Amino acid sequence: MTEISLTLPSGEQKTIPAGTTVAEAIKELVSNKERKQTIAARLDDRLVDLSAPIEADATFAPITIDSPEALEILRHSAAHVMAEAVLALFGKEVQVAIGPAIADGFYYDFDRAEPFTPEDLARIEAKMQELVALAAPFRRETMSSAQAIELFEKSGQSYKVELLKDLDAETVSLYRQGDFVDLCRGPHLPHAGWLKAVKVIKLAGAYWRGDENRKMLQRLYGTAFFDPKDLKAYLLQIEEAKKRDHRKLGKELELFAVSDQVGPGLILWQPKGALLRKIIEDHWREEHYRNGYELLFTPHIAKRDMWKTSGHLDFYGENMFSPMEIEEVSYQLKPMNCPFHIGIYNTRKRSYREFPLRWCELGTVYRFEKTGALHGLMRVRGFTQDDAHIFCRPDHLEEEIFNILDLNLHILKTFGFENYEVYLSTRPEKSVGSDEHWEQATTALKLALEKKGLAYALDPGEGVFYGPKIDIKIKDVLGRSWQCSTIQVDFNLPERFEMTYTGEDGKEHQPIMIHRALMGSLERFIGVLIEHYAGAFPVWLAPAQARIMNITDAQIDYSEEVYTELRRSGVRVEKDLRNEKLNYKIREAQMQKIPYMLILGDKEVEARQITVRLRNGDNLPAMSIPEFAALIARENEAGRTGACNS
Ligand SMILES: [Zn+2]
Ligand SMILES: [Zn+2]
């Protein structure tokens, strides 16, 4: 029998007979305790089942329930069991489409004439639990594509037949557990008994293959964990996330709206949302100005020819809105601001002496998104990027990237975000620019990250075709990650627009261009902020910082006086002088999450003071109008500088 050699994670080499299964190898090579937690293995770069035979020399690592890959295997297996349960309950009236694992769980798409009801979802979950109790093994089979097509045709599963025909492979693998068989690459759990913590979450519609011209299917979402405790914690988290949903809070707090008449994905900022946005914009502009940036404004449309020069029509055309004709010239809405900033650069000759140029703009762009993909403020068709472009020499790169990171983290901190995931993406296979440039830029990004003391993960080959980039994801209070900031070096656009500067040597050179956004888009960032704070914004951001409430009509004059004086002192104050019970007014202000309630009765009128109630129900000692205005000024300052995020 042929012997083969396995290299273990420790670097140790072991010899086993060829054809040994993973499970057998694990018995030999792995400690008892770890073995009980092993669900699959990695052979070189390939994840395989425990039942897979090992035929050649390879690196070998067991996948235990703590491995990063383990949840995906568990959840993908849960998707198969969900499909098995649905077929068991609804039989011939259902066709199964696809069922992958996703970030927080898994889904399976079903074609069924009748929509699933909430009761159906409960029955499906109960059936899944029955199947889990049977602990049927997942068995892998390989066969010719033709045989697989015949098999699925016989069982009337036409989606699988379509997938197989498109796949056009010689042989395919199928997985079988119980009575259910699915076209699948695997790997899977050894058996369904591992699915001790599984839950059907919700139902949604999804077009077959994401194509709106194809049939709308029913997508059943679920999740699964190895430990029931983790499932419980996750379910609590989704409850909390529902309460914080920015679409729900946006409506309740009257921040923004979307109107059918205006069109989907186009945000209408209501007065309070507009004020919140203005506060954020002012803060952003001030911080940029302080950090050596200059502010730009550019138009929303440009000649189609410019988008040809920039390459957007070739590389980005499908995300752009259709052209419009103006005096027989074709124009198009902007999906990005970059070419406009280049236009400003190219208005005259540039010298190395004015570098680095740091130009920023809150630039509104328009991108086509399918109606089905739109989501509140998070995914829209018109949005404002907090954009900036830096034009500099290659030897400026490291310092400029460092400065960007510095400003970036400072601004995120002022908004209460101090946990990040940082990624550095390097040169992809298809790319422009010389090896030397890529090497230099990638090193500059690395050094800047290290100098800033930021831990980062490498994303090899995931850079944009025009240059390497840094992406920063922020973590919100629920631990969810949001991609916001991006810093990208670009060797492409300066070339396309023939940008030059006169160097120290008196010759013309091509500048380096850096694209950069900190928040990403104002819309999305505000969506994240709403959910992060559950609408209870810190004082410096709150559109209404205080609301005045009188107890009886006897205090109306004094209330008006307090209102006028606070507004003049720059406090964002509202008044509720309706003839309603105080408790009712307080409850409404609390629902609106207003930080301070200023309660005015006879006592306050007499002492010319205000009683201050916090949104958590606590009271502050009575104070004068200027004292309260000073309190707000201190809070504004603390918020803007990131000193506190209360
Ligand atoms: Zn599968
Ligand atoms: Zn750009």
Task: Give me the pLDDT at residue 644, please.
Answer: 63
pLDDT tens for each residue of 364-400: 999 999 988 899 999 999 999 999 999 999 999 999 9
| Catalytic residue, candidates 49, 109, 182, 387 | 387
Ligand nearest to the CA of 488: 2
- Ligand 1: centre distance to CA 108 (Å): 10
Which residues hold their Cβ within 5 A of ligand 1, which is an ion?
Answer: 184
β-sheet bridge partners, residue 205: 218
Ligand nearest to the CA of 391: 2
- Ligand 2: centre distance to CA 448 (Å): 20
pLDDT tens for each residue of 11-21: 999 999 999 99
- Ligand 2: centre distance to CA 280 (Å): 21
Mean pLDDT of 412-429: 94
Ligand nearest to the CA of 96: 1
DSSP secondary structure string for all residues of 217-264: EEEEEEEEESSHHHHHHHHHHHHHHHHT-HHHHHHHTT-EEE-TTT-T
| Catalytic residue, candidates 469, 524, 532, 613 | 469
| Catalytic residue, candidates 157, 177, 385, 555 | 385
Task: Give me the pLDDT at residue 32, please.
Answer: 85
385 catalytic per annotation: yes
Ligand nearest to the CA of 363: 2
pLDDT at 646 over 50: no
389 catalytic per annotation: yes
Give all strands (DSSP E) within 314-393, no chain letters.
324-326, 329-333, 357-366, 382-392
Greater confidence (109 vs 168) lies with: 109
Neighbours of 129 (CB within 10 A): 15
β-sheet bridge partners, residue 4: 16
pTM here is 0.81
pLDDT tens for each residue of 208-251: 999 989 999 999 999 999 999 999 999 999 999 999 999 999 99
| Catalytic residue, candidates 272, 389, 516, 524 | 389
| Catalytic residue, candidates 367, 381, 446, 613 | 367
- Ligand 2: centre distance to CA 639 (Å): 29
Mean pLDDT of 472-497: 93
- Ligand 2: centre distance to CA 487 (Å): 9
- Ligand 2: centre distance to CA 375 (Å): 24
227 catalytic per annotation: no
Neighbours of 366 (CB within 10 A): 19
Please provide the average confidence, as pLDDT, over all residues in the chain. Answer: 95
| Burial zone of 423 (CB within 10 Å; 0-12 exposed, 13-18 middle, 19+ buried) | middle
Residue 646 and residue 636: Cα distance in Å, rounded?
Answer: 11
In sign, the C-alpha dihedral spanning 342, 344, 348, 351 is negative
Q: 168: left (phi > 0), else alpha (psi -120 to 50), else beta?
A: left
367 catalytic per annotation: yes
Mean pLDDT of 136-154: 95
- Ligand 1: centre distance to CA 596 (Å): 54
Residue 87 and residue 220: Cα distance in Å, rounded?
Answer: 13
Question: In the chain, pLDDT over 90 holds for what percent of residues?
Answer: 91
| Catalytic residue, candidates 42, 246, 312, 338 | 338
